Amino acid sequence: MQSSTTLNPHEREVVAYHEAGHALTRELLATTERAHKISIVPRGQALGYVMNLPDEDSYLKTREELIDQLTVLLGGRVAEQIVFGAVTTGAANDLQRVAEITNAMVHVYGMGTSEAVSRTSVDSAQLSDLTRRIRDEEQQALAFEAHRNAMDLITSHRAKLEEFARELLDKEVLGRSDIDRIMEGVKQIDRRPSRGLRVVANDPNPPAAS
């Protein structure tokens, strides 16, 4: 439902670049679903959103695919950093989702960097203080990895970020045909290994980046 929220010109520009960051990283990474609609028209509590529909059902995810999901979630915040030199409260929901995914990767799926710690999943009350600290650090490391990926992608495709943002400021809503036109000729990046995959059960209805 469309919101009655009215943004001032600067806020509208920040939202446009935030959603452009989400859209650009999503389009560049081959493991993520394509965006079908991008909007900077406030809807409910969201000031803007990228709507995506999965191309096919997927119930297993590799570590690389989960990192790509984190990269997309952080794409909006990173775009704000690059363009405005500061971040806003608009990324709060994205950061909450990042915390949920990194927690599951370390505590449930055993996808941390420390094999001795990540091999087992037990009740947190049974973990030692050292183990909890190591797992917290591993969650941070996963988030930092995704942040670096988002920074590299957006910095190296800055012109496309600007193009997305300009068109959003002009049209407010972009459809799939607009996205295809903007991304024409740009190659996707696929970091999935060819074998030896570590896979996990996937939520069939992941929330969209906002």
Q: What is the pLDDT of residue 188?
A: 94
Q: What is the pLDDT of residue 192?
A: 75
Q: Domain 9-92+154-201 belongs to what architecture? A: Up-down Bundle (1.20)
pLDDT digits (tens, 9 = 90+) for 109-135: 988 765 544 444 455 556 677 777 888
Record the tokens describing residue 102, joined without a space.
Answer: 């990194």
Q: Go through 21-59 and write b for each residue having 16 or more CB atoms within 10 A of its CB, e for each that does not.
A: bbbbbbbbbebbbebebbbbbbbeebbbbbebeeeeeee
Q: What is the pLDDT of residue 127?
A: 63
Q: Is 162 a catalytic residue?
A: no
Q: Which of 13, 19, 27, 56 is catalytic?
A: 19
The contacts of residue 71 (CB under 8 Å, 6+ apart) are: 25, 29, 146, 149, 150, 153
Kindly list the domain boundaries of the chain, sorted by start residue: 9-92+154-201
Record the tokens describing residue 131, joined without a space.
Answer: 């183990």
SS3 content of the chain, % helix, strand, coil (to 5): 55, 10, 35
